Chains A and B, each alone.
Chain A
Amino acid sequence: MESFVEKATPYNLTLGSNELLGKRVFSKSGIIMGVVRSIRLDKNNFDFEGFVVGNLLNTKTYICRTYVHSITTEAIFLNIDPASLLLGKAVVSSDGKKIGNVKETIRVKETNKIEYFVVKWGFFKTVAINFEDFSQIGDSLILKKDFDSFKNGAAK
């Protein structure tokens, strides 16, 4: 194949969009987010900016390249666990009582940095709890204190 290159990356060091489309995307903790549905380029300089991940439920998520850890022949590995993965997870007080579930994650603009969670508890109640008030975030989110300290806070 003939190529024309000037002050740019040679062909053999580039990746084709066809090589990325359909690739599995893993979050930092190994959760399969879905597969690459489209590649996004900067409109002005044509730099690779990110990609759209689609899953079986047809939910689409745009991930910028800052959050890409590595690209292999089989998959793309992210360096984050997107905040959306925490939706629905159980919220537990420091003494083990299940309080409710994560209804919403409020992030700093569109970054993956979480400011606070909106937690659904009781029948129709919600409360906002800051990210720093959690001691552990895993399969469930465990608070540093018991829930009484947060109960009276209204959702922002």
Chain B
Amino acid sequence: MVQPSKLDGSITTEDALGKDVIDANGTFLGVCDKIYMNPKSLQVLAISIDKGFMKKGLVIGLAYVREVANHAVFLNVEPAFKIKGMGVFDSDGALLGKVKQIALSNDLNKIHELIISQPLPKFKELTIQAELIDRIEANVFLKIKKQEFLSKIEKKSA
């Protein structure tokens, strides 16, 4: 029992469920398939994204949702999982490896460290701390050169 005028501008779960989810860079991540709510306050906490067949789903906190539009849900963030598989290059552009795993800080979308797999013939995995990363765009670029980075690793393991 509520006055219809009070519902002006509001949306329902139907307006979000089944819609495409687009991140801050315009990437289509998948489809919104669930909405998480606090059972007592009924506050929306997060949305779940179905990324497709055989792909692991993703839960995005409400703080990262920019807008539920007519045809899609827009996020204000690029999820960290997109980094997986990216090439990792030093400051000169030399290839170090590919991102195999991402460790995030708590449950935030903030990177703590990356685990990379080196190109053949080496199979050793390397860990890169977040502070060594200069930028992450189409690929990951470090602030330092490959030799300097490998020396740091050797010193740590010694």
Contacts and interface: CB of A to CB of B under 8 A. Distances in A.
B87 A142 contact: no
A81 to B, nearest CB: 9
Contacts, number: 80
B36 to A, nearest CB: 21
B58 interface: no
Given A73-B92, A74-B93, A139 B87 contact: no
B138 A97 contact: no
A75 B26 contact: no
A94 B69 CA distance: 8
B45 interface: no
Contacts of A73: 92, 94
B98 interface: no
Interface residues of A, number: 28
B22 interface: yes
A140 B17 CA distance: 22
A141 B27 CA distance: 10
Interface in B17-51: 19-20, 22-28
A96 B26 contact: no
Given A138-B25, A138-B26, A139-B25, A75 B93 contact: yes
Interface of B: 19-20, 22-28, 69-74, 87, 89-94, 135, 137-141
Which 3 A-B pairs have CB atoms at the shortest separation, nearest pair first? A96-B72, A75-B93, A140-B26
Interface of A: 24, 26-27, 29-32, 72-77, 90, 92-98, 136-142
